[in-house]
Structure 1
Amino acid sequence: MPYLTSPVVPAGTLARTSQPALPTGDGLLLRPWRAADAPAVHAAFQDPLMHQWHIRACDSEEEAAGWIAGWQQEWQGESQAQWAVVDADGDDLLGRVALREIRLGDGVAEVAYWTVASARGRGVAVRATTALSRWAFEEIGLHRLELSHATANEASCRVAEKAGFAPEGTKRSALLHPDGWHDVHVHARVRGD
């Protein structure tokens, strides 16, 4: 049965190119992950705040290396796109920003991010999310980006709002963390916002 509309973004748009590095224009760089990032990813996940707001733990550098290998492969599969957020001058890992649940045909993806403890309070997540959003809309042609977080994670809510993601509602009891079920705020940006 044929669709009545054409795909918003044709299949193959990501896979036929190499994953780009994306400068933010203000001292940060979003770059593809490297195997050498594994120690820094493992160290980031030893932070108690990561345990509070993320559903995964990272028990070893080998596990982090496996994650990175998976992140590198996801680009070709066009299902997710993950970047290391680094200081443009020194290449120190400051965080991660990603497009998850990419549906090119629908023109939709979910934005996710985290920062290392030493980078918090410096606008890293906002700047990285803003740069990624600009690229997703202007270069790839996505139409809608969604972002969600536990309602109790006020810092993530501030990031979403500062990056231009309008609040759209709350999903009740939608995310299981180690301390139980959390309500989730849903935010979104559409092209032209």
Structure 2
Amino acid sequence: MDHRLIPADLSGHGLRLRVWRDDDLAVLLRAVTDPEYLRWNTHTTPVEDEAAVAELLRLRARGWARGEVATYCVTDEADGTVLGHVGLNSLDWNLRCARVGYWTLPEARGRGIAGHALGLVTRWAFDAVGLHRVELGHAVGHTASCRVAERGGYVVEGTLRGAMFASQRRDAFRDLHLHARLATD
């Protein structure tokens, strides 16, 4: 079976999801160095400058080509302003399962953008990609992310102890709330 992921623009709710581009470097750097983003997300290697962001974009492009990730830049459908990110990671083609993640830029928070983007990529994952299960994990205590997950139909399945890096540390861990949706939900 061919497991290539073919990027397709997704639209709805005033949003357009498109593949990240090289000209998005500055906004992506601003996003991944935002203090609130850093409070909840820790990359496996530091992403602190444009060179590291460029490498991140190269890795995402390779991941698309290999069928390992499907990462989208969330933009305003009317004017193209970058608002955030949503993407599938850790694709397991045998189990037809993936993990989804999302974030929004500071100026886009509190407007329902993450939830709408999550809905678009979830529908695409089930209908176009053919996944059976999409998992969503967030740090315990991240109530905003929990609300987005629950509103998106992602059922809480439990807590995974020590399943993610502690904030900005690669030598300490914290617990993760696991949510999931099935294609049959």
TM-score category (smaller protein): over 0.9
Read off the aligned partner of 2:32 and give its amino acid letter.
F
CA distance in 2, matches of 1:13, 1:46: 31
TM-score by length of structure 1 reads 0.88
Matched, 1:44 2:35: no
CA distance in 1, matches of 2:175, 2:67: 29
Q: Among residues 84, 100, 117, which one is paired with 1:95 in the alignment?
A: 84
Matches for 1:1-193 after TM superposition, within 5 Å: 10-14=1-5, 18-23=6-11, 25-56=12-43, 57-177=46-166, 178=168, 180-193=172-185
Which secondary structure state, in structure 2, belongs to the residue aligned with residue 183 of structure 1?
strand
* Worse-superposed segment, 64-73 or 134-143: 64-73
**How many aligned positions are there?**
180
Shift of 1:11: 3.1
Rg larger in structure? 1
Indicate the percent of aligned positions where both proteins have the same amino acid: 37
Shift of 1:61: 1.8
Shift of 1:12: 2.9
CA contact (8 A) 1:164 1:189 kept: yes
Shift of 1:171: 1.1
CA contact (8 A) 1:11 1:105 kept: no
Unaligned runs of 5+ in 2: none
CA distance in 2, matches of 1:140, 1:42: 29
TM-score by length of structure 2 reads 0.92
CA distance in 2, matches of 1:124, 1:29: 11
Over aligned residue pairs, what C-alpha RMSD do you find?
1.4
Which secondary structure state, in structure 2, belongs to the residue aligned with residue 174 of structure 1?
strand
CA distance in 1, matches of 2:36, 2:119: 23
CA contact (8 A) 2:4 2:65 kept: no
CA distance in 1, matches of 2:180, 2:2: 23
Read off the aligned partner of 2:63 and give its amino acid letter.
E
Read off the aligned partner of 1:20 and give its amino acid letter.
A
